[in-house]
Amino acid sequence: MAEQSVGINKNSDPEATRHHEPCGKALFRPLKVGSITLKNRITMAALTRNRAQGTYPSDIMKEYYVQRAGAGLIVSEGILISRQGTEWPLAPGLWDDQHVAGWKKITDAVHEAGTHMYAQLWHTGRTSHPDVPEQKLSGAPVYAPSAISARGGKFRQLPGAPGYVTPTAIDDPWVIVKQYKHAAVNAKKAGFDGVELHGANGYLVAQFLDNNSNKRTDQWGGSVENRCRFGLEVLKVLVEVFGSDVSVKISPCGGYNDVGMPLQETLDTFSYFITEAEKLNLAYFTLVRYAEAFDVVLDGKRRATKFDVLDAFRPYIKKAKLFLNAGVTPEEGSELVEAGKVDAIVIGFNYVTHPDVAQRVFRNIPLNNVPDIKHMQTKGDADWSTGYTDYPTAVA
């Protein structure tokens, strides 16, 4: 793969660059996932970075992903299935031919650099705002399962940093299901190896699953089976396009974007959802475990339901592979893979700041780049490479 021509990080141990057996051997065993085989079990999480040209993939995005091609699998940043359902500025989409062409440049480059790439398909539901530029261009309201506003949250890119609004209840969820399928067809044309349904972090799929945000009395709400219906129907149409190369990311503990249910309701809902999704022969599930950083405080209390998602849901995942996300270190991940508790690990924040995570883990070099928090998302007055493609590698 192409790497930045920089020397060893001055805080790293030069001795670590000498050839030796890889650290965490279990993470460097190949893994069959759907129809592809990953070269290692370190995968890169979807990470919103706000570098699209409007909603179209940019050249610097290609550079960013190629830098990180040491991962066994790269999952793209969340890709919007439509203008309606937009939360962040400069987030990419996948609803027209220009999007397809832009993403094709990226997937071709990532494949040439030696790894695989999934597209994460995303709709934000009630966490959008009517004054977000792309949302305004859509000509549609902010949609959600029910007309219930999320609490907390600020749209700092808008004047006055407004909070969430009361959304419009979706009249016919099948319309949104069809949008997911259209995005999957475009992902196939764009050369992605598969698709990951974003069912986590309080976005649209999670809003349907949660009985606090979904108060519908039709076939899409009420019972566990009905609340799971939307996500399962989306997965079915994705499978129609990609076969076994479909996955889903879920965060049962909730917290972020004001979702989360009491423990027993959570266990009942997600065990049913996973059991039914397993019947679709998915490639993998990504389980997002509890992370305090994603557990907001509302009315003086933590919003999430804290429990061990791996212990609770591992028994239901029998055929698909299981990936674990949220604060998983390479050391812990290696132990979990060795013990057969997970098949791969998902690394997020460290892939923002270290383009060569897998190479560092292989050579036991610390993940010690200093984060550029100011430019984590783009700033109008900054070079887009700042805090994006300018992090140094430690491996020459």
Which string of DSSP letters, residue by residue, matches 258-283? S----HHHHHHHHHHHHHHHHTT--S
Give the sign of the dihedral formed by CA 271, CA 276, CA 281, CA 285: negative
Which residue in 243, 250, 247 sits closest to 228, CA to CA?
A: 250
Q: Which residue is catalytic, options 203, 256, 316, 351? A: 203
- pLDDT of amino acid 23: 65
- pLDDT of amino acid 11: 31
Taking 80 as the threshold, does the pLDDT of residue 83 lie above it?
yes
Percent of the chain exceeding pLDDT 90 equals: 87
Output the average pLDDT for the chain.
92
Tell me: the pLDDT tens digits for 93-139? Answer: 999 999 999 999 999 999 999 999 999 999 999 999 999 999 999 99
pTM over 0.85: yes
Taking 80 as the threshold, does the pLDDT of residue 181 lie above it?
yes
Is the CB of residue 118 less than 8 Å from the CB of residue 73? yes
* 203 catalytically annotated: yes
Taking 90 as the threshold, does the pLDDT of residue 88 lie above it?
no
> How far apart, in whole angstroms, are the C-alpha atoms of residue 78 and residue 273?
22
Tell me: the pLDDT tens digits for 6-65? Answer: 222 323 333 333 334 466 799 999 999 999 999 999 999 999 999 999 999 999 999 999
Is the CB of residue 72 less than 8 Å from the CB of residue 1? no
- pLDDT of amino acid 379: 78
Is the CB of residue 354 less than 8 Å from the CB of residue 376? no
Q: Amino acid identity, residue 137?
A: L
Distances (CA, A) of 78 to 7, 113, 116: 32, 22, 16
- pLDDT of amino acid 381: 73
Tell me: the pLDDT tens digits for 141-154? Answer: 999 999 999 999 89
For residue 160, the tally of other CB atoms under 10 A from its CB is 9
For the segment 194-203, the average pLDDT, to the nearest whole number, is: 98
Give the pLDDT band of residue 355 (cuts 50, 70, 90).
very high
Burial (Cβ within 10 Å: 0-12, 13-18, ≥19) of residue 253: buried
In the chain, the domains with their CATH numbers are 25-363 (3.20.20.70)
Is the CB of residue 323 less than 8 Å from the CB of residue 286? yes
Q: Amino acid identity, residue 272?
A: Y
Is the CB of residue 145 less than 8 Å from the CB of residue 214? yes
